[in-house]
Amino acid sequence: MAWPPTEEQQRIIDHDPARHARILAWPGTGKSATVIRFMLRLGDEGKRGRLLTFTRAATNELKEKVAEHPEVLDPPSTVHSFAISTLLANPGVSVLPEPIRIADDWEWKELVRVHLADLIDSTVRLVDRACAEMASNWESLEEFEDPNLPEEVRNRFAGAWEQHRRIFGYSLLSELPFRLLRALQDHADLDLGTWDVLVVDEYQDLNQCDRHLGPQADHLPGPDPHRCR
C-alpha cells in the first residue's frame, strides 16, 4: 500500500475497534493492506487482532503480508481452522466425537461414503446427495431438501450417519463453523483465546452460518476505488 494512506484508508486505520465495521471497495484498492495497517495500530495500543479468511489460497496470500510483522500479527487462518482450534480449546462443548478428527478427502471418498451406502442399502451417489443436503442446512441455518433425494434414503441416512461417525470417530470439515456457532450460543463462558478484535478478509464469501459467528456488522464506507492504490 502506498504511503501516506488516502483519506478513506486513514478512516479505516483509525476506526474504533469497539464498533463493528465492513469495508466495501473494488478489488485491487488496498483493502487487505489497509486492514493490516489497522491491525498494526491495534498492536501499538496493546490490543491483539485475529485475521480470518475463507479459502486456503486467500490465507496463503495474506500470510506473505502478515509475515513482515510477526511480532505484532499472528498468521491468518481460515474460518474452519479458527472453528476447530476454538472447539479443541473447549473440550466437551460440541456434539462432535472427541478427540475431534476431520475425515480427509480420501477417507470420505473411499471409505466413509462407501460404508454408509452399504449400511443404508443405497448408492454412493445418493449418500453424496444426502451429505450435501446436510451441509447446506449447516451453512444456511435453514431447512433445505434436495428434490432428487428419495425420502426413504434421507431418513435412513439421518439415522445411520450420527451412529456411524461416533463409532469411527470422525467429523466433517463443513460442519465446523456450525458446531462452533452452537457452542457459542450454548456456552457464554467459551474460551475464545487472547485476541481482542476479529477481522475477516473476503467477507462476501462467508455463508449464513459463518456470518452468525459474530454480531451483525455496521457499514463503514470503504476506500474510493479510483483513489486507493
- Sorted by where each starts, the structural domains of the chain and their CATH numbers stand as 7-93+192-221 (3.40.50.300), 105-170 (no CATH)
Res 57 pLDDT > 80: no
| Residue bearing cell 470417530 | 169
Of 40-49, 145-154, 164-173, which gets the smallest average pLDDT? 40-49
> What is residue 3's predicted lDDT score, i.e. its pLDDT?
67
Confidence of residue 228 (pLDDT cuts 50, 70, 90): very low
**pTM for the model:** 0.82
Q: Does residue 63 or residue 220 have the better pLDDT?
A: 63
Helix axes 124-140, 151-168, angle to 10 degrees: 80
Q: How do residues 170-212 score in pLDDT, each as one tens digit? A: 999 999 999 999 999 999 899 988 888 888 888 888 889 988 8
Q: Does residue 58 or residue 190 have the better pLDDT?
A: 190
Mean pLDDT of 123-144: 95
C-alpha cell of 99?
478427540
> Each residue of 192-224: b (16+ CB within 10 Å) or e?
eeeeebebbbebeebbebbbbbeeeeeeeebbe
* Cβ contact 34:223 at 8 Å: yes
Measure the CA–CA gap between 139 and 70, rounded to whole angstroms: 33
**Which residue in 127, 128, 145 sits closest to 136, CA to CA?**
145
* Cβ contact 47:40 at 8 Å: no
Element (H, E) at 23: strand 23-24
Question: What own/partner pairs with CB < 8 Å and gap ≥ 24 does 102-109 have?
Answer: 102/170, 102/171, 102/172, 102/173, 102/176, 103/170, 103/171, 103/172, 107/170, 108/172
C-alpha cell of 159?
439415522
> What is residue 229's predicted lDDT score, i.e. its pLDDT?
27
> 171 φ, ψ to 5°?
-130, 170
Res 163 pLDDT > 80: yes
Mean pLDDT of 20-35: 85
Q: How do residues 67-114 score in pLDDT, each as one tens digit? A: 777 776 788 889 999 999 999 999 999 999 999 999 999 999 999 999
| Cβ partners under 8 Å of residue 101, min gap 6 | 169, 170, 171
Tell me the H-state helices in the chain. 7-13, 31-44, 56-66, 79-88, 105-107, 113-119, 124-140, 151-168, 176-186, 208-211
